[in-house]
Chain A
Amino acid sequence: MKLLLLPLIALRNGVEFIGGWGYLLWDTLLAFRRAIFAKRGRRLGWQNLWYQMERVGVRSIPIVSLVLFCIGAILALQMAPTLRQFGLVSTVPDIISVAVYRELGPLVSAIVLTGFAGASIAAEIGSMVVAEEIEALQAHAISPVRFLVVPRVVATTIMMVCVAVVGDLMGTAGGLTISQGVLGIDFRQYLTHTYDILRTRDFITGLIKAAVFGSLISSLACYLGLRVTGGAEGVGVATTRTVVLTIVALIATDLLFTAAFYARGW
């Protein structure tokens, strides 16, 4: 009997989770609108946003650069033998550009940022819950959503777009390095191919995805952080769940977006 109930319980928990997360997103949106028009608390808001942007984005740039550089290089090395059979080695830059700008730049940057920002946001907010800091905020009539969630979501969204741009460029650099050094494609030729094949649309769809990924990472991390119960162990569980759930959510969302762009012929 218990075994039969398990899927139902899982379904209920899933609905509850998505409902709670959706509610937090809605609350964040309302609080963001209020924060923009608020007269008070602005000085703190900007300072806080700036700090979060540095923490979330700036520190992750070296890692994202390294990872995307390697991915660009790997793509070039993987594709070259097959393409050579058809005499199409010169199309390596074209394939890398589309793959990186539309897909891998935003997605891989988002996965790196999940480890960087998502985990640390969940752990930070979870520790604040354990230390009664959230209750203290409420007792001081300061909304935890406006004070903690909004700056983190806005900062992660903005920085995710910036990091994706850096990632795109580094992916190109990785492909370029291998093409020039190993495949014998001149770097001017590589850049011309990249420039010719890429449409503004490829770049923009990648950045739209990046922005959505950014808000996904931070809102899930904040939500799981705020739900922490049970002290230090709870913080650990929330951090792990944040990373796992976010990566699943990122890839699922990516599929949805790619399907939608495909259907619209973008």
Chain B
Amino acid sequence: MVNMAAKAAIQVLDVTKIFDGRTVLDRIRLDVFQGETLVILGGSGSGKSTLLSLMIGNRRSDGGDIVALGKSLIGMTDQEMVEYRKSIGVLFQSGALFNSMSVADNVALPLREHTDLPEETIDIMVKIKLELVGLREHAEKMPAQLSGGMKKRAGLARAISLDPRLLFYDEPSAGLDPVTSAEIDQLIIDLNHKLGVTSVVVTHEMDSAFRIADRMVLLDRGRFVASGTPEEMKASDNALVRQFIHGLTEGPLTDRRRAGGYENDLLGVDI
């Protein structure tokens, strides 16, 4: 176990996050091991996107700490945070391309900002990254001219432009048709193999999760309820895991919603 922890690329240590008095993450513990693809599953509002934004340093936790690439995110100075962010890549749900720049300029931006490379070298690097995601011939297009899947691929090319050691994906297949979604999944798997990065994927798309995951965890109401390999998750007899994985209409998740004091609400009585 100690040995495993030594190889952890990210350690989430008792992290708590509170928004307006509501505990979104409740003393979460999680290790992401080097080279693996970890999928964080969870329904809407389960806290998974919050956990992702904490891991990329865009938000600060209200308790606990995250140790990424051997350094505590809480104790980082601004300069250390800059260095950390240069060693990670993030694919946002919408792709988050800069709409005023062409695809090539989007991918080139981190290189222009953080390296002293001459323009010719940057051009070559941009072409390599775009070829990796299959968008080389669309380099000069503006984001508005791209389809949803192409935007995500372009976002991915930008995320890997500085050869990151950690890659974070926020809902990579949300809003895509099944074929494009499968293509993005394959891309994630290929990039993991080709670049040898550690990946954290936040999603609620089960097909996608099972395709890409080495290990999965299920987040519910700010706490982890289960973790394991895709096979272990499939075989789990935890009612909540079974309901989530199989998309069942009956189970603890829906029971909870039904027990929301509907009768009291109708009768105008405070719960």
Is the A/B pair a real complex? yes
Residues of A that sit less than 8 Å from B by CB: 39-41, 43-44, 127-128, 131-133, 135-136, 138-142, 147
Residues on the A chain within 8 Å of B112, using CB: 40-41, 43-44
* Given A40-B116, A135-B58, A142 and B110 contact (CB-CB distance below 8 Å): yes
Q: Judging by beta carbons under 8 Å apart, are B94 and A132 in contact? A: yes
B88 adjacent to chain A (CB < 8 Å): yes
B69-86, CB under 8 A of A: which get 1 and which 0? 000000000000111011
* Tier of interface size on chain B: 20 to 34
Is residue B98 within 8 Å, beta carbon to beta carbon, of the partner chain? yes
- In the assembled complex, which residues on chain A have CB atoms less than 8 Å from the CB atom of B53? 135
Q: Does B18 contact A (CB under 8 A)?
A: no
Contact between B56 and A140, CB atoms less than 8 A apart: no
Q: Is B99 at the interface (CB under 8 A from chain A)?
A: yes
Cα distance A85–B58 in the bound complex, in angstroms: 69
Is there an interface contact between B90 and A136, defined as CB atoms closer than 8 Å? yes
Residues of chain B within 8 A of A39, CB atoms compared: 116
Smallest Cβ distance from B87 to chain A, in angstroms?
9
**Neighbouring B residues of A131 by C-beta, 8 Å:** 94, 96, 99
Interface contact B109-A139, CB-CB below 8 Å:
no
In the complex, what's the smallest C-beta–C-beta distance from B180 to chain A, in angstroms?
20
Q: In the complex, A138→B78 CA distance in Å?
A: 12
Most chain B CB atoms below 10 A, which of A44, A135, A139? A139
> Which among A127, A128, A141, A147 is the interface contact of B85 at CB below 8 angstroms?
A141
Q: Is the CB of A139 within 8 A of B90?
A: yes
Known: A40-B115, A44-B113, A139-B58. A132 touches B86 (CB 8 A): no
| Contacts A135-B92, A139-B56 supplied; 16 other A-B pairs, CB < 8 Å | A40-B113, A40-B116, A41-B112, A128-B99, A131-B94, A131-B99, A132-B93, A135-B53, A136-B90, A136-B92, A136-B97, A138-B57, A140-B158, A141-B83, A141-B86, A141-B113
CB distance from A18 to the nearest CB of B (A): 23
Nearest 9 pairs between A and B by C-beta?
A: A141-B85, A136-B96, A132-B96, A139-B90, A141-B82, A132-B92, A140-B110, A41-B113, A141-B86
B141 within 8 A of A: no
28 contacts between A and B (CB under 8 A): A39-B116, A40-B114, A41-B113, A43-B112, A44-B112, A44-B113, A131-B94, A131-B99, A132-B92, A132-B93, A132-B96, A133-B96, A133-B99, A135-B53, A135-B58, A135-B96, A136-B97, A138-B57, A139-B58, A139-B85, A139-B90, A140-B110, A140-B113, A141-B85, A141-B86, A141-B110, A141-B114, A142-B113
A36 to chain B, nearest CB (A): 16
| Complexed CA–CA distance, A39 and B116 (Å) | 8
* Chain B stretch 160-217: residues in CB contact (< 8 A) with chain A: 162
- Shortest distance from the beta carbon of A117 to any chain B beta carbon, whole Å: 16
A131→B93 CA distance, assembly (Å): 9
Closest-CB distance, A127 to chain B (whole angstroms): 8
| B107-124 interface (Cβ within 8 A of A) | 109-110, 112-116
Contact A142 B116 (CB under 8 A): no
A134 → B minimal CB distance (Å): 9
Residues on A with C-beta less than 8 A from B97 are 133, 136
Residue of B nearest to A132 (CB): B96
Query: A141 CA to B111 CA in the complex, in Å?
Result: 11
- 1/0 contact string of B209-235 vs chain A (CB within 8 Å): 000000000000000000000000000
**Nearest Cβ on chain B to A237's Cβ, whole angstroms:** 20
Return the chain A residue nearest B82 by Cβ: A141
- Give the Cβ gap from B118 to chain A, nearest Cβ, in Å: 10
Which residues of A lie under 8 Å from residue B58 when comparing CB positions?
135, 138-139
A127 to B144, CA, bound (A): 14
Report A-chain residues with C-beta under 8 Å of the C-beta of B110. Answer: 140-142
Taking the closest CB of chain A, its distance from the CB of B105, in whole angstroms, is 9
Q: How far is the CA of A102 from the CA of B125 in the complex (A)?
A: 54
A127→B96 CA distance, assembly (Å): 11
Chain A residue with Cβ nearest B116:
A40
Shortest beta-carbon distance from B167 to chain A in Å: 11
Contact A133–B98 (Cβ < 8 Å):
yes
CB closest residue in chain A, given B105: A44
Cross-chain contact of B88 among A40, A133, A139 (Cβ < 8 A):
A139
Question: Knowing A40-B114, A131-B99, A135-B58 touch, does A140 contact B92 (C-beta < 8 A)?
Answer: no
User: Which residues of B lie under 8 Å from residue A142 when comparing CB positions?
Assistant: 109-110, 113
Question: CA of A128 to CA of B143 in the docked complex: distance in angstroms?
Answer: 13
What is the distance, in angstroms, from A48's C-beta to the closest C-beta of chain B? Answer: 10
CB distance from A153 to the nearest CB of B (A): 18
Give the chain A neighbours of B98 by CB distance below 8 A. 128, 133, 136
Shortest distance from the beta carbon of B145 to any chain A beta carbon, whole Å: 16
Give the distance in Å from the alpha carbon of A53 to the alpha carbon of B92 in the complex: 31
